[in-house]
Amino acid sequence: MPRELLARDELLVKVVAALEEGVEPTRRVIRAQRTATLELLQRHARTKAEAARRGQLARLLAVDLVIAHAEADAAWLDRCEARVVAAAGAAGAEGPR
């Protein structure tokens, strides 16, 4: 595990910490984070619609950037859940460690 990544990525820290608790607690953390990310994206989407209505191109580009980051988080969380489920399946009832 790259230490510098753990040191700066709060999302990664949360998920990795949850792994110690087992599969279901990890999935709960992932789902909670995904829901929070989607709620953030919903707010960005409203901001974007407003910027589009007002023809504010610079603001649109800025919102596109934060949306791209949040989308990447959501995609990564989806991948995390798939990996956790797959690892749990491979390891049987023990769950991933």
- Contact set with another protein (CB under 8 A): 31-32, 34-35, 37-47, 49-52, 56, 58-60, 62-63, 65-67, 70-71, 74-75, 78, 81-82
| Closer residue to another protein, CB minimum distance, 13 or 45 | 45
Q: What is the DSSP string of 52-69?
A: HHHT-HHHHHHHHHHHHH
63, 47 Cβ separation under 8 angstroms:
yes
**CA–CA dist 77, 88 (Å, integer):** 16
| Closer residue to another protein, CB minimum distance, 7 or 45 | 45
**Least distance (Å) between residue 28 CB and another protein:** 9
**Least distance (Å) between residue 25 CB and another protein:** 14
Listed residue (36, 35, 58) closest to 48, CA to CA: 58
